[in-house]
Amino acid sequence: MNDLAGSNSELAASHNRGVILRAIQRHQPISRTELARRSGLTKQAVARIAERLIGENLVLEARRRHGQPGQPSIEIEINPDGCFAIGVGIARDHVTIVAVDASGSVRGRIHHEIQYPMPETVFELIEDALATFRHRRAIIRDRLAGIGIAIPDWLGEIPFPGMPKGYSAWTGYDLRGRFARITDLPIYIENDATAAAIGELNYGLGVESRSFFYIFIGSGLGGGVVLDGVCHRGATGLSGEIGWLPTLDESEPLGSRVKPLGEVVSLYILYDYLAKHGIEVARPSDLLDLDPDGQAHVSEWLRQAARHVAEATIHIGLLIDPDAVLIGGRLPVRLIDEMLLYVHDHLARDPRPAPPIHRAAGSEDAAALGAATMPLSEALRLDSFDARQRTRSPLSGLPYAPGRPAA
C-alpha cells in the first residue's frame, strides 16, 4: 500500500492534502516537481495544494535548489510553528509532559519520577505543565492541535509491588471528562506502547521501515504493531500485547518455568533482580550510576533478558514478517544497546529466520512523544487512525501481570 499516492479526482481534495503533507514531512525540503512525481498528482494540483498549505502557515518555502536544468526550483517544508501538540505519558513510575511543534521537535518537557501517582495528582501536574509551557511561550495557544495521552492498559487493575490500595481509582477513570474541565482541545488516548509505535512511525525509523513491531520496555512490557504505515490494534485493541507471550524461564524450578514474557523482561523485573543482590534501584537513571559490581549484575540480567527477547523476535518474524523489530521505552539507551548485542548473538546462533532488530529512534520519552504525535498526525494527516474513538477491551481476573509479578 502506497500512502503517498494521490488521486486526480476533484472529490479527493482532503486525501490529496494529506498525501502532500506526508510527502513533505518525510522528504523535506522538497520541490513541487518532486512532490508531483512521488504523489502521482499533476503539477497543477500539487501547486494548488502547496499554495493553500502555505496560506494556512502549515508549510513554508525553504530555499531554491540549484544545479538542475532550467530555473532553480523552490523547495518547501513543514512550518515548525504551523501547529503544536501536547503529549502526556502516564505510568506507574512517572509522568512526562512534552510540548511538540509540527516538525516533531520538543519545545518543552516536564518530567516527574513519581511512584503510583493518583489521578488528581496527575492532573495537577498536567495543569502546571500547560501553564509553564504557555508562560515560556513553548506553544502558540491558537495553534494547539490537541492533547495526546499515553497510558498503560489496566493501570489500576493489575497488581504491582507497592501499589497503594487507592490506585484502583484509575480503573474506569473518565480521562476525557476530567480533561474537559481544563480544556476544550481534542483529546487522544492510546496505550503507551502503541503511542510509542505511532511516534516512531511518523518521526523515527518509520520513515525507512513502514512495517515493524515495537517492543516497549517500561515498568511493564508492551508492544505495538505497524503494518504498511498503519498502526494495527486488532479486533479488541490487544494487538501487540507481547507481555503475555509465554516464555521458558530456565532459572525457575520445573513446573513453574513457563511464564509470560512480561514477568521476565521489564524495568520492575530488573529492579527486583538487583534488589535480590543487595542493589537498590528506584528509577532508570539509577542504573547508569552503579558501581562496577552493580554494572556487572545489570549486564548479567541483560544477557538473560536478551535470550527471551531474541526468541520473541523470531516468533514475531514468523507471525507477521515485519521489516524490523524495534526496542524502546524507559530502559536507558546505553542498556538497550548492550541488550541488543546479546540479542544479535542469540539470533546469529539460531537457524530460524528473524527480522532485523534495532533500537528505536525515540528516547525514553517515547510514549509521551508518541502521544503528542497523535494530534499532530490528525492536524497534518500523517497517519491513518482515530485515537479519539479508541476503546479498550479490559480483562478482569487476570492470572498474571505483564511486568512484575505481584508480591
The answer to whether residue 1 is domain-embedded is: no
Same domain, residue pair 85 and 74: no
Q: Is the pLDDT of residue 18 over 70?
A: yes
Same domain, residue pair 147 and 249: yes
The answer to whether residue 347 is domain-embedded is: yes
Same domain, residue pair 173 and 287: yes
Q: For position 381, what pLDDT does the model report?
A: 73
Give the domain range for residue 20: 10-78
The answer to whether residue 85 is domain-embedded is: yes
pTM of the full structure = 0.86
The answer to whether residue 384 is domain-embedded is: yes
Same domain, residue pair 262 and 146: yes
The answer to whether residue 334 is domain-embedded is: yes
Same domain, residue pair 184 and 38: no
Q: Is the pLDDT of residue 63 over 50?
A: yes
The CATH number covering residue 209 comes to 3.30.420.40
The 3-class SS string of 99-167 reads EEECCCCEEEEEEEECCCCCHHHHHHHHHHHHHHHHHCCCCCHHHEEEEEEECCCCCCCCCCCCCCHHH
Distance CA 381, CA 49 (A): 14
Q: For position 5, what pLDDT does the model report?
A: 56
Same domain, residue pair 67 and 119: no
Helix (H) or strand (E) segment spanning residue 13 = helix 13-27
The answer to whether residue 205 is domain-embedded is: yes
Same domain, residue pair 69 and 132: no
Same domain, residue pair 212 and 154: yes
The CATH number covering residue 17 comes to 1.10.10.10
Same domain, residue pair 148 and 43: no
The answer to whether residue 143 is domain-embedded is: yes
The neighbouring-strand residues paired with 86 are 99, 147
Same domain, residue pair 236 and 101: yes
Domain ends where: 78, 104, 125?
78
The answer to whether residue 400 is domain-embedded is: yes
**Which is more confident, 381 or 122?**
122
Q: Is the pLDDT of residue 90 over 60?
A: yes
Average the pLDDT over 257-263 and give the result. 89
Domain ends where: 78, 109, 135?
78
Q: Is the pLDDT of residue 15 over 90?
A: no
Closest CA to 357 of 388, 394, 312: 312
Closest CA to 366 of 228, 266, 268, 224: 224
Q: For position 249, what pLDDT does the model report?
A: 76
**Which is more confident, 73 or 244?**
244
Q: For position 305, what pLDDT does the model report?
A: 97
Q: Structurally, how many domains does the chain consist of?
A: 2
Same domain, residue pair 72 and 161: no
Same domain, residue pair 286 and 137: yes
Domain ends where: 32, 61, 78?
78
CA distances from 50 to 31, 58, 129, 216, 381 (A): 10, 10, 35, 37, 15
- In this prediction, what percent of the chain has a pLDDT beyond 70? 87
| Band (406; pLDDT cuts 50, 70, 90) | very low
